Structure 1
Amino acid sequence: MSSTEKRVLTGNEAIATGFYEAGGMVAASYPGSPTVEILEKLKEYDEVYSEFSTNEKVAVEVAIGASFYGVRSMATMKHVGVNIAADPLMTFTLTPTNGGFLLVTGDDPGLASSQNEQDNRVLGKFAHMGILDPSDSQEAKDFTKIGLELSEKFEMPMMLRITSRLCHGRGIVTLNERTEIEPREFNRNKEKFCMIPPGSREAQFFVKDRLEKLEKYAYDMEINKLEIKEGTDTLIITSGLVYYNLKEVDPNASIWKLGMVYPISEKKAKEITSKFKKVIVIEEMTPFIENELKLMGIECEGKKYFEFTGELDIQDIENGLYEAGILSNKKEYVKRFVETVSRPPLFCTGCPHRPTFDILKKSKAKIVVGDIGCYSLAALFPFEQSNSIISMGASIGMSKGMRKAMSMTKKEEPLVAVIGDGTFFHSGLPSFINLLHQKEDNENITIIVLDNRTTAMTGGQHNGSSGLYNGRDDMKVGIKTLLDSMGFDRVKEINQYEYKTTKKLIDEEIAYEGLSIIVVNGPCALRYKLENPYFYVDPEICISCRSCIKTNCPPLKMIKYEGIEKLKSSIDKDMCVGCSVCAQVCPVNAIKSSATLNKDGENIGD
């Protein structure tokens, strides 16, 4: 590959390319937006072993093991995934790395696809890691390589923090040949790698020493760039994608763009800022850089003028700089788009979760504890069947705590919890085992495991049971079999596309005074390309009751048929995948399968 070859890559693709070029050998992840495509890209390289692990904790442990053995490794995840990985990570950061180790965190300013907006620069500092913050795809690739090099040079894990817009945004990237890195010999020094006292006590001083060395090294780092503008006494300090939005504004100010946001060289920071009367920090989310500078005794302002939440676009920066007195006027922006009808997110056509939540809406369940996955959409209109959503796997532990509270306060009503199959394997298993601890026979809890045998919301990656649906996946753990072996005595399994049978079972289990688990299965229509003969509506039979419409399937709508006064339901045959749920809920059998039509569209019978 020529060093002059250029390609347009997303930030995610650039990180994968950088890891490959740097001689990376082992990469692990758990799929979560915005970082999913990093591992998808790495699958293209035979020289790299890559896997979607069971959860982020396992992914970090796989990468740690590879690093200990002396090869360059990487773990990638969305920002909340670092919470899951924190247990091994916080102790791993006390040990020296052997092969370079890089943790990629996809932060999500503005919560485009997340349940919170945490700033993992704070976690990176808490874990005593160096933190790199790229601004474009080229830097995403370059900083991946730099991070691995710094990890080996200072024997410390490094964090590459990237945000959603940069993960998915595209830029021109120069490609290079892969550099093969000879694995380092595994270090069998127990005091350095067995983190129990007294070794871990000594490690505290090692961590302090290497951070101080990295800070001194940061003084001359080329990725921290100072751009001087003559005739100004204002300095703006920034990092990441915000830098390019700031450049679009082009204020009368010098700019110090940080490539490594932690640690910041105190000596360099004081040298640079002392030459300016006013120092402004522009960064998304928490005042991380601002606080670091203030801890050094450097006077600066930032969040006084810029929002603490969401992305900072050009208009936000202009408004903030105007308030700070850096800009003498601000532009009036005119909307350049047409307002459209609001379109809430929907379950995909033929999604197997739809009938289950339609059934729950009609059931006697007043409390449904939700979880993270495609089925989180059930909290929204029209189903509105999740009363709480916190984190991966939390629905099971929360339902136990809620049930105990209900029992202690003499409140008796059905309690339902839902969890997806991917989440079941990710973090649900410990909570399921905990359900058996001090279980009371008369405590009414119904748990529904939604098994579509894929990690659907992030693009259809495998999970522990995917291999039961296709031969390409090597993980074939049956959820019901596993729950039976744990000791649960009431576990039932059903095809959730069989609407009436599923409704009868769910109603029975909700009424049951005790703990019951229902595994409702059905293939993800998108992942497994569900495509049966489409269904159609006979408007002469349809009574306009809207029972089918209430299932919220995208191909369904009410239309005006020629010669018929009332609106009747209809199905877009190009969207329909033939799941048959609409036909099953129709009370008058007005919805029929196209399998009964001949080539001329005439009904030839059932």
Structure 2
Amino acid sequence: MMDENKVLMTGNQAIARGFYEAGGQVASSYPGSPTVDILQSVKDNYKAEIYSEFSVNEKVALEVAIGASFSGARAMVSMKHVGVNIAADPMMTFTQSGTNGGFLLVTGDDPGMASSQNEQDNRIMGKFANMAILDPSDSQEAKEFTKLALKVSEENSTPVMLRITSRLCHSRSAVELCERFEPEPDGFEKDKSNFNMIPPNTFEKQHSMKSRIEKLQQKAVNMDINIFEESKNKDFLIITSGIVYNNIKELGLDIPIYKLGMIYPLPIDKIRELSSEYKNIIVIEEMTPFIENELKINGISCEGKKYFSFTGELGIEEIEMGLKEAGVVKEVKYALKKNDHAVPRLPMFCAGCPHRPVFDILKKSGKTVVGDIGCYSLAAIFPLEVLDVEISMGSSLGIMKGIAKANALRGKAEPIVAVIGDGTFFHSGMTGMVNMLHQIDPKDNMTIIILNNGTTAMTGGQHTASSGSYSKEDDMNVDMRKLLEGMGFDRVKIVDQFKYKSAKETIEAEMKHNGLSVIITTRPCALKFKVKEPQFYVDPQVCIGCRKCVKTNCPPIQMKKYEGIEKLKSSINPDMCVGCSVCAQVCPVNAIKRSK
């Protein structure tokens, strides 16, 4: 039976709890998997003690936390791994200045790219920024390391990174609950030499950063979060960190392990001492050979990526296979069989998703379409396969312009479309939008479609700057049309994409227009705002089986065999249908009708 002071928590929830127990006062974030639930847990459970906000992007979120730290408050900012790229500009300078209140940056790395466009290893970013990096292995450590990170930050006047991975973010384990510590922030004390990061102040700060890391490296030797597990086996020593440690332990091997809690700076003196006792050192870590390279830089012989993949997660099967290749184990007991993989499930837009009619129209147009990051990224894959380019948040606008200008130089000006969601537009699209006005040629045929569904849907329905137009509960209601007209755009169209025929006419007309035009769609996210109208049904006697409704990629629609009818006809699952009406509008014979 579990202790009454312990509860099951995900890693995300445990970090939120740790921030609460540590006396955290200001938390900020931009929603992104796998870390989105950290701030959501703060909002849901600790709003009386902690000010929290989903900022418009990671850069702003980091800056909010920086300001709180400067004022003596314990602050935390959380984001997915690629979010750190957005925040890198202030981060790389902030790490020069001394913190006041404890400052924690939580980054969620995504080995295997379960919900990301790349697999960057932010341990490298932490070192690049001269930050200490902690790497917890379970939910209990996630909570305790959060508290420790804030303490380390204050004692050493340095920002600290807590690096977690998708598996730890979402997996659950027991967490012991403790009381909250109540700090007393001393407020903002003016110190121009510390907070004004301009020459000549920055010259001295470079030396301060170097000295700070060297002192932390000495302290790391005695940190109890770096744990050495002894064994009689002197042939091999495994060095590891994070959730990989638990996977190694699942193998039940009689082998010494040095489990690192702080992965930068490393306790080099301790590892050097251990290296003299063991014939071989094997480093097991996901993604890049970060720890392995740090050891080799310091002249410590080891191997790692020689036996273990540089990409994806390292489960017990992959670890055991690597250890066999390294000669640590003789037999493999957990080899992954070819048929053990789960049957893949096709990602689809939700029933009633307002993006679907837009992409149905674009697919039929055959035009080049540049996509962006959000739910609408699904339009890049089967069965829609509309998006021709998909790179990063807010990139669609600049990329579209670059393609258009390059085509014009070749004498092949042709229509090109960019799609971007409202959350992404406010996150990092506005700068690209303003840049569209620079050196515009009347012959440039560029159409921008802003999919304004009022939420950051892909990460769970967090607000955007225009959510207030759909919900009174949201305190931000930016009028996107007025914003664009204020920027200087004189051709802005508003469409209701559930009025399929008129939306199609508008989109097609703008794609034919020589020049720059913007279209804003107006339907909200069906899932977030719980859109539900009387459902539709198919009259099989009228249906001709043309599958035009099926091609809209709506989950409730499928072909089926009706009794007494030889040909397959379409059908609509009434439990899934939310009554958006798009299928009825594309049906050429009016076989799809709304129920009473």
Q: CA deviation at 1:563?
A: 1.1
Q: CA deviation at 1:344?
A: 1.3
Q: Tell me, in whole angstroms, the C-alpha distance in 2 between the residues paired with 1:201 and 1:496.
A: 56
Match of 1:292 in 2: 294
- Aligned letter for 1:429? M
What is the 5 A alignment of 1:127-526?
Answer: 127-331=129-333, 333=335, 335=337, 342-365=344-367, 367-526=368-527
Q: Please report the TM-score for the alignment, with normalisation by the length of structure 1.
A: 0.96
Q: Tell me, in whole angstroms, the C-alpha distance in 2 between the residues paired with 1:528 and 1:429.
A: 25
Q: Tell me, in whole angstroms, the C-alpha distance in 1 between the residues paired with 2:511 and 2:551.
A: 22
Match of 1:47 in 2: 49
- In terms of mean alpha carbon deviation, does 264-273 or 196-205 score higher? 264-273
Contact (CA 8 Å) 2:317, 2:336: kept in 1 or not?
no
Match of 1:27 in 2: 27
Q: Secondary structure at the match of 2:98?
A: coil
- Aligned letter for 2:523? G
Q: CA deviation at 1:407?
A: 0.9
In percent, how many aligned pairs have the same letter?
A: 63
Match of 2:37 in 1: 37
Contact (CA 8 Å) 2:234, 2:279: kept in 1 or not?
no
Match of 1:65 in 2: 67
Q: CA deviation at 1:187?
A: 2.9
Contact (CA 8 Å) 1:251, 1:326: kept in 2 or not?
no
Q: Secondary structure at the match of 1:171?
A: strand
Contact (CA 8 Å) 2:404, 2:413: kept in 1 or not?
no
Q: CA deviation at 1:35?
A: 0.4
- Aligned letter for 1:298? I
Q: 1:547 to 1:341 in 2, by over 3 A?
A: farther
- In terms of mean alpha carbon deviation, does 245-254 or 429-438 score higher? 245-254
Q: Secondary structure at the match of 1:284?
A: coil
Q: Secondary structure at the match of 1:419?
A: strand
Q: Secondary structure at the match of 2:585?
A: helix
Q: Tell me, in whole angstroms, the C-alpha distance in 2 between the residues paired with 1:341 and 1:592.
A: 34
Deviations 1:260-280 (A, max 9, x none): 000012211111221111100
Contact (CA 8 Å) 1:4, 1:175: kept in 2 or not?
no
Contact (CA 8 Å) 1:290, 1:302: kept in 2 or not?
yes
Deviations 1:353-402 (A, max 9, x none): 0000000011141x111110000000011111111111000000111111
Q: Tell me, in whole angstroms, the C-alpha distance in 1 between the residues paired with 2:343 and 2:100.
A: 55
Q: Tell me, in whole angstroms, the C-alpha distance in 2 between the residues paired with 1:557 and 1:149.
A: 57
- Aligned letter for 1:581? V
Q: Secondary structure at the match of 1:401?
A: helix
Contact (CA 8 Å) 2:93, 2:197: kept in 1 or not?
yes
* RMSD, aligned α-carbons: 1.4
Q: CA deviation at 1:231?
A: 3.5
Contact (CA 8 Å) 1:364, 1:510: kept in 2 or not?
no
Q: 1:192 to 1:396 in 2, by over 3 A?
A: same
- Aligned letter for 2:491? R
Contact (CA 8 Å) 1:252, 1:326: kept in 2 or not?
no
User: How many residue pairs end up in the alignment?
Assistant: 593
- In terms of mean alpha carbon deviation, does 348-357 or 230-239 score higher? 230-239
Q: Tell me, in whole angstroms, the C-alpha distance in 2 between the residues paired with 1:268 and 1:587.
A: 75
Deviations 1:161-194 (A, max 9, x none): 0000000000000000000011134231101110
Match of 2:545 in 1: 544
- In terms of mean alpha carbon deviation, does 3-12 or 547-556 score higher? 3-12
Q: Secondary structure at the match of 2:307?
A: coil
Deviations 1:122-155 (A, max 9, x none): 0000000000000000000000000000000000
Match of 1:14 in 2: 14
Q: CA deviation at 1:340?
A: 7.0
Q: Secondary structure at the match of 1:329?
A: coil
Match of 1:604 in 2: none
Q: 1:67 to 1:553 in 2, by over 3 A?
A: same
Contact (CA 8 Å) 2:28, 2:52: kept in 1 or not?
yes
Q: Secondary structure at the match of 1:446?
A: strand
Contact (CA 8 Å) 2:320, 2:334: kept in 1 or not?
no
Q: CA deviation at 1:334?
A: 6.3
Contact (CA 8 Å) 1:549, 1:556: kept in 2 or not?
yes
Match of 1:112 in 2: 114
Deviations 1:44-71 (A, max 9, x none): 2110000000000000000000000001
Q: Tell me, in whole angstroms, the C-alpha distance in 2 between the residues paired with 1:506 and 1:395.
A: 18
Q: Secondary structure at the match of 1:16?
A: helix
Deviations 1:518-550 (A, max 9, x none): 011211010001110000001111111111011
Q: Tell me, in whole angstroms, the C-alpha distance in 2 between the residues paired with 1:165 and 1:501.
A: 45
Match of 1:598 in 2: none
- In terms of mean alpha carbon deviation, does 181-190 or 291-300 score higher? 181-190
Q: Tell me, in whole angstroms, the C-alpha distance in 1 between the residues paired with 2:366 and 2:512.
A: 8
- Aligned letter for 2:511? I
Q: Secondary structure at the match of 1:121?
A: helix
Match of 1:577 in 2: 578
Q: 1:63 to 1:339 in 2, by over 3 A?
A: closer
Q: Tell me, in whole angstroms, the C-alpha distance in 1 between the residues paired with 2:61 and 2:397.
A: 23
Contact (CA 8 Å) 1:232, 1:252: kept in 2 or not?
no
Q: Secondary structure at the match of 1:104?
A: strand
- Aligned letter for 2:527? L
Q: Secondary structure at the match of 1:122?
A: helix
Q: 1:453 to 1:334 in 2, by over 3 A?
A: closer
Give ranges in structure 1 of 5+ residues lacking alignment: 596-606
Deviations 1:475-526 (A, max 9, x none): 0002111111111011101111111010001110001111111011211010
Match of 1:86 in 2: 88
Q: Tell me, in whole angstroms, the C-alpha distance in 2 between the residues paired with 1:357 and 1:4.
A: 52
Q: 1:341 to 1:333 in 2, by over 3 A?
A: closer
Q: Tell me, in whole angstroms, the C-alpha distance in 1 between the residues paired with 2:118 and 2:406.
A: 27
- Aligned letter for 1:471? K
- Aligned letter for 2:255? A
Contact (CA 8 Å) 2:380, 2:388: kept in 1 or not?
yes
Q: CA deviation at 1:341?
A: 5.8
Contact (CA 8 Å) 2:244, 2:314: kept in 1 or not?
yes
Q: 1:295 to 1:392 in 2, by over 3 A?
A: same
